[in-house]
Amino acid sequence: MTSFVEVTHDGHVSTLTINRPDKLNALSTEVLEDLRAAVDALANREEARAAVITGTGKAFVAGADIAAMKDMTEAEGRAFGALGHGVFDAIEQLRLPVIAAVNGFALGGGCELALACDFIYASSKAKFGQPEVNLGIIPGFGGTQRLPRRVGSAAARELIYTGRMIGAEEALRIGLVNAVFEPDALLPKTIEAAKEIATKGPLAIAAAKRLIRDGLDRALPEANRMEQAAFAEAFGTADQREGMSAFLEKRSPAFRGA
């Protein structure tokens, strides 16, 4: 059986490409299961230090598969939502940063997939939105929670309540995306950023990702205590000794993730 997710590796950087272009990469149960398998494999790949998620054709992911959702019962909807949440939570929980390279439509579940990544780079032709209310439902893969945390509650409310689609420049203005590139430059620029991240101390990157993720919803004193503990733990690693020695010796560090 052909997978709907193509995985390629370039040194420490892995790229996951949603490949269902005839359906604009819509997220069916099968696509979500393939994506979960790819994410789990990535979690177990020791060499992996950064990853990119993108889509084939003119869409990143145009949304969930509406044809498959139309006749779902409440129980089936609950199971489908749990599957999507499980996949996106797994992306968010990865030790390594994941960058979304949004090459086209990122609507509904596609926008939610991008939001599960650490940050987003977009093509100038990209379109974002949470149009679920147009279908009589709400975002079901984390949109009501991750979007307000990314762009603020007022902007998220507007996008979710209206179901409006926005372009890349507006997405940049509200803080949904970090940068906008011309279509041909998007993937090279995203991979370039991933490769830069991959040169840094992998244990430090993993700790920083965990602290940012877990500290956002905690009181500042508690979050700062978490940071203090992780900062101290870094001094027990070979990467800390290598990084500081390389700095003092004016050479590039050779981190081993230990």
What whole-number distance in Å separates Cα of residue 199 and Cα of residue 85?
31
- Residue 219 CA, chain-centre distance (Å), reads 25
Active-site annotation holder among 46, 47, 74, 132: 132
Residue 112 annotated as catalytic: yes
Residue 47 annotated as catalytic: no
User: In sequence order, what are the beta bridge partners of 251?
Assistant: none
What whole-number distance in Å separates Cα of residue 196 and Cα of residue 130?
31
**Burial state string for 62-86 with b = 16 or more CB within 10 A and e = fewer than 16:** bbbbeebbeeeeeeeeeebbebbbe
**CA-based angle 132:135:138, to the nearest 5?**
35
Q: What is the DSSP string of 20-42?
A: -GGGTT-B-HHHHHHHHHHHHHH
The answer to whether residues 168 and 180 touch, using CB atoms and an 8 Å cutoff, is yes
Q: Tell me phi and psi for residue 181, to 5 degrees.
A: -130, 160
User: In sequence order, what are the beta bridge partners of 54?
Assistant: 17
Active-site annotation holder among 46, 47, 112, 158: 112
What whole-number distance in Å separates Cα of residue 44 and Cα of residue 33?
17
Q: List active site positions.
A: 112, 132
